[in-house]
A = this chain, B = another copy of it.
Amino acid sequence: MPEYLPTAPYRGTRDFLPAEMSVRTQVFGHLYDVVERFGYQRYDGPILESAEIYEAKSGQEIADQQLYTLTDRGGRRLALRPEMTPSVARMIAGNAGSLQFPVRWYSHPNCHRYERPQRGRVREHWQLNVDIFGSDAASCEIEIFEVIHALMGEFGATRDMYAVRANDRTLLASALTDLAGVPAEHLAAVYSLVDRWEKYDRDKLAADAEEIGLSDKQFARLAETLGMGTALLDELPAEVKDASNLVQVLRSEAAELVQFDPLIVRGLAYYTGTVFEVFDTSPENNRALFGGGRYSDLAGLFTAKEIPGIGFGMGDVTLIDFLTTHGLLPSPRSEYDVAVIPVTADLTGAARSVATRLRSAGLRTSSPLEHRKLGKELTRADKAGARAVVIVGQEDWDAGNVTVRSLATREQTTVALDAAADSVAALL
Contact = CB atoms under 8 A, between A and B. Distances in A.
A395 interface: no
A200 interface: no
Given A102-B370, A352-B142, A114 B73 contact: yes
Contact of A380 (B100, B253, B304): B100
A267 interface: no
A76 B336 CA distance: 39
Copies of this chain, tallied across the complex: 2
A38 B359 contact: yes
Interface in A240-263: 252-254
Interface stretch (A91-99, A155-163, A179-187): A91-99
A363 B95 CA distance: 28
A15 interface: yes
B139 A91 contact: no
A156 B231 CA distance: 64
A251 to B, nearest CB: 12
Contacts of A335: 39, 41
Contacts of A283: none
Contacts of A132: 369
A104 B339 CA distance: 14
Which of the listed residues A22, A47, A95, A110 has the most CB atoms from chain B within 10 Å of its own CB?
A: A47
A6 B302 CA distance: 7
A80 B79 CA distance: 12
Given A4-B301, A56-B5, A302-B5, A369 B13 contact: no
A14 B90 contact: no
B143 A46 contact: no
A94 B7 contact: yes
Interface string A83-118: 000000011011100001010110000101010000
A105 B10 CA distance: 21
A383 B68 CA distance: 41
Contacts of A65: 73
Interface of A: 2, 4-11, 13-18, 21-22, 24-25, 36-39, 41-50, 52-53, 56, 65, 68-70, 72-74, 76, 78, 80, 90-91, 93-95, 100, 102, 104-105, 110, 112, 114, 123-124, 132, 135, 137, 139-140, 142-143, 146, 150, 252-254, 301-304, 335-336, 339, 348-349, 352, 356, 359, 362-370, 380, 383-384
19 contacts: A4-B302, A4-B303, A5-B302, A6-B50, A6-B302, A10-B46, A10-B76, A15-B91, A16-B45, A37-B362, A39-B364, A46-B124, A47-B47, A47-B112, A70-B70, A72-B114, A73-B114, A102-B369, A146-B356
